[in-house]
Each structure stands twice: as structure tokens, then as C-alpha cells.
Amino acid sequence: MKEAISILKSEHRSISAILYALKELARMAHDATVRPRFQVLRSMLRYIDEYPEKLHHPKENEHLFARLVARALETRLLVEELQAEHEEGARLIRELERALLFMEEGWPVGAREFQQAVEAYAEFHWKHMRKEEQQLLPLAERHLTAEDWKAIDAAFAANRDPIAGMQERDFEKLFARIVALAPDPVGLGERWA
Ligand SMILES: [Fe+2]
Ligand SMILES: [Fe+2]
């Protein structure tokens, strides 16, 4: 498998793991009988905001998508759809942050709204990643040249955020923190009663 494709798929797996955990915690926050610890929910939203939104999607836009459209114009509609979804995702994450703040101030008021916002966001993001893996990647494998892949592989492996200079390892730390904070059975933290 091409290096960039395996990186892209493994990033999708990390994003999926966070989405799954976030859904589970949103459900638990709704059912909890004592005030949930909100720190872990904030860390999860930060992960989504800074990882898929600021690193993963720009890499796709600037390297994979741009080269694919240049090689095969007929892929333009699909690429534009995916790019529009990247923008929609950025808007939805702001809504999630607002819903979390609202829940944090008034819990248990706002717990249902937050849970619904999380469900909608996770569904949206899963659909997006499936579209990339099932529709876009086969087209990329068909149309891109060895030279394209070399450039894309290098860009995907470097994984730098051009704005903040953030790198992969920062996210490993954040990921580890989420696992430590998330309550049993989602993570290793103390159970919310
Ligand atoms: Fe994407
Ligand atoms: Fe993606």
C-alpha cells in the first residue's frame, strides 16, 4: 500500500476512535447521576479541532485532492464535495463547542442537545471518511503517477501544521491524556457514578 494511503487510513482510524469515545461519553453525560468531568470532553473536541480540522483535511486538500483533479478532471465534482464537507465540518465543530459550553454551565440541562450534536457530527464525519476511502482513494490509485505519489507521500509523512508548527507527537500526548481521563469503560479514568 502507498505510504500516504496507509497514513490517511490510520488517521481515519484515530479520528473514528475519538468519535466513538465522544459519542459514548455524551451518552454517559446524559445518563449520569453525578456531575460528569467535562475536562475529557474538552480534550476530545480539542483533538478533533486541531487534528482533523487543521492537519488532516489541509493535507488532503493541498496534496491528494489538488493532484488528483490536475490528472483527472472528471474527479472534480467529488473533490469539491469533499472540500465542502471539510468546511461544513469546521462549522459543526464550532457548534459542538457551543453545545458543550452550554451543557457545562447548566448540566443536566443541555445534555440531550450535546448528545444530539455529537451523534450528528460523528455520523457526518464517518460518512465523509467512508466517501474518501471508498470513492476517492480508488480514483487516486488509478490516476496518480509515481511522481505524484512521491510528493504526496512526503507531504503526508511530514505531517506539519504550517500555522502552529504542531506535529504528530503533540497529538499522541493529547490522545494519551484523553484515554487517561475518560471514565471506565471508555478509558482508564474513574467511572462516573
Ligand atoms: Fe477529508
Ligand atoms: Fe480524511
CA of 133 to the centre of ligand 1 (A): 10
CA of 135 to the centre of ligand 1 (A): 12
User: What predicted TM-score, i.e. pTM, was given to this entire model?
Assistant: 0.88
Number of other CB atoms surrounding residue 162 within 10 Å? 10
Question: Which residues neighbour 37 within 8 Å (Cβ) at sequence distance 6 or greater?
Answer: 181, 183, 189, 192
Task: Please list the rounded mean pLDDT of every run of 10 residues in the chain (193 residues).
Answer: 88 90 94 90 90 87 97 98 96 95 96 96 96 98 96 82 51 77 84 77
Query: What is the end-to-end Cα distance of the chain in Å, rounded?
Result: 45
Distance CA 171, CA 169 (A): 5
Amino acid at 128: H
Q: Are 162 and 62 in contact (CB under 8 A)?
A: no
CA of 104 to the centre of ligand 1 (A): 30
Q: What pLDDT shows up at residue 168?
A: 59
Distance CA 110, CA 104 (A): 8
CA of 24 to the centre of ligand 2 (A): 22
CA of 86 to the centre of ligand 1 (A): 6
